Structure 1
Amino acid sequence: MESIIQSFLLVLASEMGDKTQLIALVLVARFRKPWTIMAGILVATLANHGLASFAGEMVASWLSPQVLKWGLIALFVGFGLWILIPDKEECLDERKNYGAFLTTLVVFFLAEMGDKTQLATVALGAKFNSVVAVTIGSTLGMMVADGLAVFLGPRLLRKIPMKAVRITACFLFIAFAILIYFQI
């Protein structure tokens, strides 16, 4: 349960103001099909984070506990600092129309490749050595964060200062690094 909760909290915090949340806003404005967009986000995230969790578990099996510990600490501190840099909204190709579900699935899967959330999921998979639990937690975090964008949209984001959200998420990543230092 700890791996699900920590994965959920970390991904939720890191997704606030992230490019995928901005993409969710663009998609819901473009297609006006929030449930279809959420379904696309779910499938893309399950696939992407499932692969990332598996990769993290594999890396953990190859590294000594000491190397893994210091690698995870460095990654989480790095992610904490990285999250302080705001993402920019990426444009969707308006010339092609594959429908709300397929567009969301492809855009979200590709947007998460190499993203801090995917890399954090790799690290979480290495830390907890549980593909299923980390995938569940990280997917729930993505769904909540992007669900806020899809269903509450600009009204909510206008009221939340993104700088404060990024600073809070930074502290959360660093807190995870400190926990790793004392746990492994």
Structure 2
Amino acid sequence: MDTFLLSALTVGVAEIGDRSMFLALLFGLRYQRPWPIFLGMALGLFLNQALSAVVGIWLFQFLDSSWHAWIVGIAFLLMAAWVLVPEKDDDEAPELSKRQLFLAAIVAFFFLEMADKTQLVVVTLAGSQQVFWPVVLGATLGILATTGPALWLGYKFADKLPLALLKWLACALFAVLGVWVLLGAMGVTGGAEGLSHLLPPEH
């Protein structure tokens, strides 16, 4: 699996039941102009992932390559726990005119993703691989794959989604990946080698 697909998959799974998904549901429920919201949401999310990737690439340049597998494994375990943290549901949406929705969506989704678990994924993947575009575009696609449908469905279908079950499945996926990579870093399994395409070559 290449970096683009891995980024899209992990971020998409992480976004299940996330606050960005609920914000998209809220926008879809309250406003009747989905396209300006979707375009603003996409741009805001892209800018946030781009910032995260730059930070990850810069940060990993100062870390010895022997630590990269450990960081990736620990990050996956943190994701496993983080995905189960309940999201706060804000029932109040700001009153906006239709002409303000594009800018409002950019700002809302850019800042909403700050300190979010998806940032941890992007920082880790971009830093360990030392690539920008595959991680950023994959992460943006992964988020939009979750938030995009939520925008159009709206809250009237939200109660029919088995979010609790989906969150536990996502937790299990990240936990298995994390343990596998850490065991590989300890030389117990081939986990680290199996994800060698995520790590920069040693010099």
Normalising by structure 1, we get a TM-score of 0.90
- Is the helix fraction higher in 1 or 2? 1
State the distance in 1 between where 2:157 and 2:122 align.
26
Deviation string 1:37-92 (CA, Å, 9 cap, x unpaired) is 11011101111001111211112211012222212211210111111112112355
**8 Å contact 2:54–2:132 — kept in the other structure?**
yes
Q: Which amino acid aligns with 2:55?
A: A
| 2:134 counterpart residue number | 133
Q: Does 1:89 align with 2:89?
A: yes
| 1:15 counterpart residue number | 15
**8 Å contact 2:40–2:105 — kept in the other structure?**
yes
Higher alpha-carbon deviation: 5-14 or 165-174: 165-174
Q: Which amino acid aligns with 1:9?
A: L
Percent of aligned pairs sharing the same letter = 29
TM-fit CA distance, 1:127: 2.5
What are the ranges of 5 or more consecutive residues in structure 2 without an aligned counterpart?
A: 185-190, 197-203
Q: Does 1:163 align with 2:164?
A: yes
**8 Å contact 2:28–2:153 — kept in the other structure?**
no
Normalising by structure 2, we get a TM-score of 0.82
TM-fit CA distance, 1:172: 2.3
How do residues 1-184 of structure 1 correspond to structure 2 at under 5 angstroms? 2-90=2-90, 94=94, 99-178=100-179, 180=181, 181=184, 182-183=191-192, 184=196
Deviation string 1:145-178 (CA, Å, 9 cap, x unpaired) is 0012012233543332111111111122223324
- Kindly report structure 1 stretches of 4+ aligned residues shifted beyond 2 Å: 90-98, 152-160, 174-181
Higher alpha-carbon deviation: 104-113 or 31-40: 31-40
Q: Which one scores higher on RCO, CA 8 angstroms, separation ≥ 6? A: 1
Deviation string 1:104-124 (CA, Å, 9 cap, x unpaired) is 110100100111111221111
Q: Which amino acid aligns with 2:155?
A: P
Q: Which amino acid aligns with 1:118?
A: Q
What are the ranges of 5 or more consecutive residues in structure 1 without an aligned counterpart?
A: none
| CA RMSD after TM alignment | 1.9
State the distance in 2 between where 1:96 and 1:154 align.
18
TM-fit CA distance, 1:2: 0.9
State the distance in 1 between where 2:109 and 2:76 align.
23
Structure ID, larger Rg: 2
State the distance in 2 between where 1:119 and 1:91 align.
27
State the distance in 1 between where 2:36 and 2:45 align.
14
State the distance in 2 between where 1:8 and 1:138 align.
5
